[in-house]
Structure 1
Amino acid sequence: MAKSSKLVVAKKGRVLMVRRRRDGLWMFPGGRRRAGESERSCLRREIKEELPKLKLGPLKLWKEVKAKNRLSGRRMSDAIFLAKKVSGDLKVGDKKEIDRAVWRKPRGVRLTPTSRYIRDKLFPRRGRR
């Protein structure tokens, strides 16, 4: 099982991203799994904590990522879920951890290593695959 779960949802060429308060890095929403919790229920709990007004449709597991970050040496262990439908406001619930949530283009901001990996795999630059 993965240690963390992340949500990727795109709408009209933009993706849902949140900004971490501690370092200003942007990321796909999600978080760490608790003992006895599945990746899917982890993601639903994390979204409820971070973005309590957001309603998720069905979730589909895209990929489990288990890799070592070349720059930081950190081990990634994430279950990446895709959602085709979301609704509701992007009101931030956990303001100690997240200071902003927006729909934006996936490029042009500083991302966490895991979110950079996800972006590069799901939204490659034009002409690259």
Structure 2
Amino acid sequence: MAKSSKLVVARKGRVLMVRRRRDGLWMFPGGRRRAGESDRSCLRREIKEELPKLKLGPLKLWKEVKARKSRTGRRMSDAIFLAKKVSGRLKVGDKKEIDRAVWRKPRGARLTPTSRYIRDKLFPR
């Protein structure tokens, strides 16, 4: 099992991204798994906390990524899920952690290392 789960959903050439309040970096929504929680239930819980008005359709595991971040050497362990169908408004729930949620083009934003990896694999130039 991965340490955290991320959601990737694309619509009309744009992807769902959230911006972290602490450093202003953009990322795919998701977060850390709790003890006894599956990767999929972690993602559903995190989305409910971060974007409470968003309704997710079926989730498909795209990839489980285990690697070391090149700059820091920290381990990356993420389960990346794809959703073809989402509905609802992008209302931020956890305002201490997230200050913005938008549909945007996958390029042109300062991303977290994990989100940069996901973007480069799923949305190559």
Question: TM-score normalised by the shorter chain: which range applies?
Answer: over 0.9
Identity score, percent: 93
Shift of 1:36: 0.2
CA drift of 1:72 comes to 1.8
Deviations 1:81-124 (A, max 9, x none): 00000000000000000000000001101000000000000000
1:24-56 C-alpha deviation (Å, 9 max, x unpaired): 000000000000000000000000000000000
Question: How far 1:2 sits from its partner (Å)?
Answer: 0.2
Give distance in 2, aligned partners of 1:11 and 1:106: 11
**RMSD after superposition:** 0.8
Deviating above 6 A after TM superposition, structure 1's stretches of 4 or more consecutive aligned residues are none
In the alignment, what sits opposite 1:56?
56
CA distance in 2, matches of 1:76, 1:14: 25
Matched residue, 1:11 = 11
Secondary structure of 2:73 counterpart: coil
**Aligned residue pairs, count:** 125
C-alpha separation in 1, matches of 2:72 and 2:108: 21
* TM-score (ref. length: structure 2): 0.99
TM-score by length of 1: 0.96
1:50-73 alpha-carbon deviations (Å, 9 max, x no partner): 000000000000000000011121
Alignment partner, residue 113 of structure 1: 113
Alignment-derived partner of residue 102 in structure 1: 102
CA deviation after TM superposition for structure 1 residue 74, in Å: 1.5
